[in-house]
Amino acid sequence: MAQNTQSVTVRGDLNAAGLHFGIIVSQFNNFITDRLLAGALDALRRAGANDSKVEVVRVPGSFEIPLAAKKLAAAGRCDAIVCIGCILRGETAHFDYVASEAARGIQLAQLDTGVPMAFCVLTCDTLEQAIDRAGLKSGNKGYEAGLSAIEMASLSRKISGKSRAARRLQRR
């Protein structure tokens, strides 16, 4: 006996109009992170985001991104956050610890707050690899993270059925 069921697919879209975004940017390796930031801002603007609804927060390094992202998310102003950093492998194990904890911290921050966070922390062996990912051969990963943030913000609204502002008012 065949059962007639129809599945429903829910997807986010790439319309940033009316959405609020945060961007956390590491100042360490700013030669790279500034390019990634420019890419993320370009993606948001092209999708209709208003500059007045984009908040950029600078932190010292990638290790500090998760705390700033969690605090910004907890403030209730953002529909999504883009987390930008660049960690280059050196001669010690420091790279492994910072890369692992930045990734884990960002994941925990989004799970704890429910605010989508696009991961744009480059973890590269060489400066050349980072340059390639910040706008040369491999495109701009900041632009891709901006698109991801838009799509996830849209998807979150569709799943919850309300905007971040409405959820904030409901909590009061």
Q: Which of 60, 74, 94, 169 is catalytic?
A: 94
CA–CA dist 155, 74 (Å, integer)? 19
Contact 62, 104 (CB under 8 A): no
3 state DSSP class of 115: coil
Contact 65, 59 (CB under 8 A): yes
Is 94 known to be catalytic?
A: yes
Q: Are strands 21-26 and 117-124 parallel, antiparallel or unpaired?
A: unpaired
| Active-site residue set | 94
